């Protein structure tokens, strides 16, 4: 135990340098994923046949294949057709595209769960379709989706560790690097695991606060 703590004191600060990289990758990706996810959801629920078809294929493809393969495809594959990204950008793009597919599905489920009468009532009091979606549908759907969305956000936070495989210098990569320096992979990855555990628990608590902040009786469950 003492040895573990001494080891930690020595290498922990270096490990911490990975946190901003991990978190920025995550924050950018889920924000962009949020926007893209909403667009995909809109295309699937309200779009014409072409939009529906495109977004459905997109969602199925990205949900049906591993993130690791998607990341390799973007970082190692695309350069062969002349599209080159640095590792960080490639990772952010992969996580964004992957997350958008999942977010779109959660949004869709949530939009479909809002009772039809809500939109009818909104139109009946003179709102345009866009207004009805913006002021009636969206506020209800977004509240309902928070629990699932939170799960998804945490899954993606853990998925940022995959970026290590293409050389992004985030927590996992730094841990691996220290591991090969000290030849003590076990201990350093325990420390890395601890950092991730703190990050995911913190994010989970913050998202629960968000859920409580937007709680409305009858629309969301307590």
Per DSSP, the three-state class of 138 is helix
For residue 78, give the H/E element and its range.
Answer: none
| 150/156 Cα distance (integer angstroms) | 10
Closest CA to 28 of 91, 84, 83, 76: 91
Please give the residues from 183 up to 222 whose contact with other proteins meets the rule CB under 8 A. Answer: 185-186, 189-190, 192-193, 196-197, 200-201
The least CB distance from residue 82 to other proteins, in Å, is 11
Binding flag, residue 68, other proteins (CB under 8 A): yes
| 128/106 Cα distance (integer angstroms) | 25
The region of 46-54, 76-84, 88-96, 142-150 touching other proteins under the rule CB under 8 A is: 76-84
The widest CA-to-CA distance across the chain, in whole angstroms, is 71
Binding flag, residue 64, other proteins (CB under 8 A): yes
For other proteins, what does the binding mask look like between residues 132 and 171, x meaning CB under 8 A?
Answer: --------------------------xxxxx-xx------
Binding flag, residue 12, other proteins (CB under 8 A): no
C-alpha distances in Å from residue 19, one per residue of 34, 99, 129: 22, 20, 43
Count other Cβ atoms within 10 Å, centred on residue 162.
21
Identity of the residue, 81 or 222, whose beta carbon is nearer to other proteins in the bound complex = 81
Binding flag, residue 112, other proteins (CB under 8 A): no
The binding site for other proteins (CB under 8 A) comprises 61, 63-70, 72-73, 76-78, 80-81, 158-162, 164-165, 172, 175-176, 179, 185-186, 189-190, 192-193, 196-197, 200-201
């Amino acid at each position: 135990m003492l040895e573990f703590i001494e080891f930690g004191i020595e290498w922990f600060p270096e490990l911490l340098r990975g946190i901003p990289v991990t978190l920025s990758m995550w924050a950018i990706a889920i924000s962009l994923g949020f926007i893209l996810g909403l667009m995909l959801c809109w295309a699937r629920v309200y779009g014409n046949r072409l939009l529906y078809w495109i977004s459905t294929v997109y969602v199925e493809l990205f949900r049906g294949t591993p993130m690791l393969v998607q990341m390799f495809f973007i970082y190692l594959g695309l350069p062969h057709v002349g599209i080159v990204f640095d590792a960080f950008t490639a990772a952010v793009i992969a996580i964004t595209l992957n997350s958008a597919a999942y977010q779109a599905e959660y949004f869709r489920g949530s939009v479909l769960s809002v009772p039809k009468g809500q939109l009818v009532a909104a139109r009946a009091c003179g709102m345009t379709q866009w207004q009805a979606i913006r002021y009636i549908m969206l506020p209800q759907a977004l509240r309902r989706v928070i629990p699932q969305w939170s799960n998804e956000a945490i899954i993606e936070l853990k998925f940022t560790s995959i970026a290590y495989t293409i050389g992004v210098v985030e927590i996992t990569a730094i841990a691996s690097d220290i591991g090969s320096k000290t030849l003590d992979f076990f201990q350093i990855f325990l420390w890395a695991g601890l950092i991730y555990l703190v990050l995911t628990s913190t994010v989970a608590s913050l998202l629960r606060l968000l859920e409580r902040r937007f709680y409305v009786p009858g629309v969301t469950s307590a």
